[in-house]
Amino acid sequence: MISASAPFRPLPLLPEARAERSPGPRLQKLRRAAQEAREAFVREGPVAAVATCDLITFPYPTLFAFSGAALSPAPYVMMTNRMQVVQFAEAGTGQRRTLLFNPTDYERGHAAPFYRALRERYGAFLSDKVMSTRHGTVQGYLEQLGLTPSDVDYLAFDHLHIQDLRGWLGGDGAPPVFPRARLLVQRAEWTMVKHLHPMQHVWFVPGGADIPDERVVLLDGDTWLGQGAALLSTPGHTQGNMSLAVATANEVFVVSENGVSTESYTPLLSRIPGVRRFAEQMGWEVVLNGNTREDSLEQYASMVVEKLFAGPSAHDASFVNFHPSSLLTAHLLAPGLGPTVVLPAPNTGGLHPTPALRRAA
């Protein structure tokens, strides 16, 4: 394993705010730090290119999606897992690097105990043909974008629930799909997935993190990847949860699964039955995606950081420019549980293949 160093560097101010031990004062310090860090981030200039790719729509317990706030007889909401392909100019060298954020190998992800049990309960036909929709594969989207697996420098996930990394990075005896790529992961997440608590096991693919050490780059906190691209440390949903932050020419957007829709960050604007009343009653400004509750106070603070770092959407300034890695999706099986608004998927610039010399290397 490799600890991150140059060309990566930390974002300013946020680590100092997180050092505050008391949750209330820490939240207030994080509010100020997030706004100042955003200003510094934007000054560096926009990212080279981003493409958003829908992978699979799948069921997720309604109880978890809005922390129990949503009122519906439907046991599941539907969410669409998405991948971002990001190209940015590396600090110092100026070389264009390619990051895949949340390139879920969803076929292998079925082995996570929660979803394995769901498939056993409903059977393969209902699970694959009715309750889920496959939109495309990671490899298929890369081909459509004019890229090859050898063009990819980095893989990263907001967290490692239901991820099996072995197909992408090796470790199960077969050649890895991505021959050059390395995994960017928070040290806290990597330590956790190697030593799971019994209450965490249900969301993780057994052996899914058993990849060669040299394919792993450990991050310690907020990390500036290059011009217009950063990974924010946003713990709470899991211990090493992180969020993708991208600056375009017009706005900043943030991606994670701390919330299942942009209205998770503005619940008073939600038209989903129960969500607004819950937020008013509890006095919450954000509503958590709460399937694990490893540290709800931390997750709440992380969502506030995401909210302030992203800022308002250029499409609808009433809503935060937050784009869930797994997006709440309207579906006949989930009446009343469609999103109040769906922001246009973040896409900008033109993606380019890596030069042949680097591919050969």
CA–CA distance, 68 with 75 (Å, rounded to integer): 11
Cα→Cα distances 183→54, 99, 158, 165, 177, Å: 21, 10, 12, 9, 13
Nearest to 263 by CA among 57, 85, 112, 66: 66
CA–CA distance, 198 with 186 (Å, rounded to integer): 21
Nearest to 305 by CA among 17, 5, 84: 17
Tell me the pTM: 0.95
The tokens for 301 are: 């603070």
Contact indicator for 144, 95 with CB cutoff of 8 Å: no
Average pLDDT over residues 37-61: 96
Contact indicator for 67, 287 with CB cutoff of 8 Å: yes
**pLDDT at residue 357, rounded to an integer:** 46
Cis omega (within 30 of 0) for bond into 7: yes
By percentage, how much of the chain surpasses pLDDT 70? 97
The domain ranges of the chain are: 9-329
What is the second-level CATH architecture of the domain 9-329?
4-Layer Sandwich (3.60)
Q: How many CB atoms lie within 10 A of CB 120?
A: 10
pLDDT (tens digit per residue) in 152-209: 999 999 999 999 999 999 988 889 999 999 999 999 999 999 999 999 999 999 999 9
The mean predicted confidence, pLDDT, of the chain is 94
CA–CA distance, 73 with 99 (Å, rounded to integer): 40
pLDDT (tens digit per residue) in 94-126: 899 999 999 999 999 999 999 999 999 999 899
Average pLDDT over residues 51-72: 97
